[in-house]
Amino acid sequence: MGASLRATAVTTVLFGFMFLLFIGIGWIVGTIFWNDWVTGALLFLGIAGLMNLIAYFFSDRIVLTSYRARIVTESEAPRLHLIIRGIAQRAGLPMPRVAIVPNRTPNAFATGRNPKHAVVAVTQGLLEVLDDEELEGVLAHEMAHVRNRDILWMSIAATLAGAISFAARFVFWGTLFGGGRNGENLLIAVIAAVTLPIAALMIQLGISRSREYKADARGAEFTGKPTMLANALRKLDSYNEARPMQSGNPSTAHMFIVNPFSRRGLTRLFSTHPPINERIRRLEKMERDTYMRIR
């Protein structure tokens, strides 16, 4: 199975597990509070659908506003527009809007619900530390996210994970102070409050990591030079480790090409991104395989 198909299969399976978790919370709520697990499961499935609709239409505006990203014209950022337009043409994608984030930590992300509404955003620091080839590798990675519709997938995953955590807390506190306060129900509520948010987070991380690998591979295909991105990742990982972002929401870390926030303690364990060394290893293997085919 190719890397692209494998990533798609992993994402599909993990999303299935996440929806089962959400329905499971509905089952718990319905059983404890209404003695009707079907109503609870359907209610929470409906809530999941509503939250995903909100994420689908508004997540791009929310994230751009939260990072004070400014849409720039070609005259304002000719270097960015030139590189992105070339990638878009090779990838068969419409030209996205281009934005710059006023932050010196070098990083980039893409947002928007589909290729026609995509925005590729880079920090001011990214433009300062990467040469043109490295910048092209990073931008190709972000355009791969657009092509793969990863922005939509990850917005849904983040929304569901947050909703599962909220619902688990609702079950716990509702049982503690509200309905069905018997020992068995309280035990179920405690187990749900502890295990379900962790399970949802781990599933979200699995989805995020599989999409990053896929975007690395697809972006390298767009440029034909995997080492462009590998070299950029080395630089970005070093800069972001030494000077992480001090503002912004860590729940959006999955959107960036490398984690822009502090990675101390448990944040290393619950990373939204695959290990940087493994990403570089795969890209360098792509380069070697391409060289051998040419020979």
Is there a catalytic annotation at residue 142?
yes
Residue 284 has pLDDT above 90, yes or no: yes
Mean pLDDT over each residue of the chain, to the nearest integer:
83
CA-closest candidate to residue 41, choices 24, 17, 53: 24
Quote the CA–CA distance of 183 and 187 in Å, as a whole number. 6
Containing structural domain, residue 256: 3-294
By CB neighbour count within 10 A (0-12 exposed, 13-18 middle, 19+ buried), where does 90 fall? Answer: middle
Residue 10 has pLDDT above 90, yes or no: no
For residue 134, name the pLDDT band (cuts at 50, 70, 90): very high
What's the one-letter identity of residue 233? L
pLDDT digit string (tens) for 184-215? 666 766 777 777 677 777 777 777 888 899 99
By CB neighbour count within 10 A (0-12 exposed, 13-18 middle, 19+ buried), where does 45 fall? Answer: middle
Q: Which residues of 123-154 are buried (b: 16+ CB within 10 A; e: fewer)?
A: bebbeebbeeebbbbbbbbbbbbbbbebbbbb
Q: Give every CB contact of residue 242 below 8 A, 6+ residues apart in sequence.
A: none
Residue 32 has pLDDT above 80, yes or no: no
Which residue's entry shows tokens 């948010």? Answer: 197
* The pLDDT value given to residue 1: 46
Which DSSP category does 255 fall into?
A: G
* The pLDDT value given to residue 281: 96
**Catalytic residue (one of 142, 184, 212, 241):** 142
Pairing verdict, β 108-111 and 70-71: unpaired
Total residue length of the chain: 295
Helix (H, G, I), strand (E, B) or coil at 103: coil
Here the tokens at position 169 are 């807390």
Q: Give every CB contact of residue 90 below 8 A, 6+ residues apart in sequence.
A: 222
Please say whether the beta carbons of 137 and 252 come within 8 A: no
Backbone angles phi, psi at 111, to 5 degrees: -145, 175
* The pLDDT value given to residue 109: 96
Task: Please count the structural domains in the chain.
Answer: 1
Please say whether the beta carbons of 136 and 85 come within 8 A: no
* The pLDDT value given to residue 291: 62
pLDDT digit string (tens) for 157-193? 777 777 777 777 777 777 766 655 556 666 766 777 7
For residue 127, name the pLDDT band (cuts at 50, 70, 90): very high
For residue 269, name the pLDDT band (cuts at 50, 70, 90): low
Please say whether the beta carbons of 204 and 210 come within 8 A: no
Best mean pLDDT range from 93-102, 153-162, 243-252: 93-102
Worst-scoring range by mean pLDDT, 135-144, 209-218, 245-254?
245-254
CA-closest candidate to residue 150, choices 90, 69, 101, 217: 217
Question: How far lies 267's CA from each of 88, 131, 193, 213, 247, in Å?
Answer: 34, 30, 21, 20, 16
* The pLDDT value given to residue 151: 78
* The pLDDT value given to residue 295: 56
Helix (H, G, I), strand (E, B) or coil at 208: helix
Best mean pLDDT range from 67-81, 174-188, 253-267: 67-81
* The pLDDT value given to residue 3: 52
pLDDT mean over 262-269: 62
For residue 47, name the pLDDT band (cuts at 50, 70, 90): confident
Q: In the chain, pLDDT over 70 holds for what percent of residues?
A: 79
* The pLDDT value given to residue 58: 80
* The pLDDT value given to residue 93: 96
Q: Which long-range contacts (CB under 8 A, 24 or more apart) does 186-193 make?
A: 188/28, 188/32, 189/28, 189/32, 192/25, 192/28, 192/168, 193/168, 193/169
End-to-end CA, the chain? 24
Residue, of 166 and 285, whose pLDDT is higher:
285
Please say whether the beta carbons of 120 and 96 come within 8 A: yes
Residue 254 has pLDDT above 70, yes or no: yes
Residue, of 258 and 264, whose pLDDT is higher:
258
pLDDT digit string (tens) for 228-238? 999 999 999 99
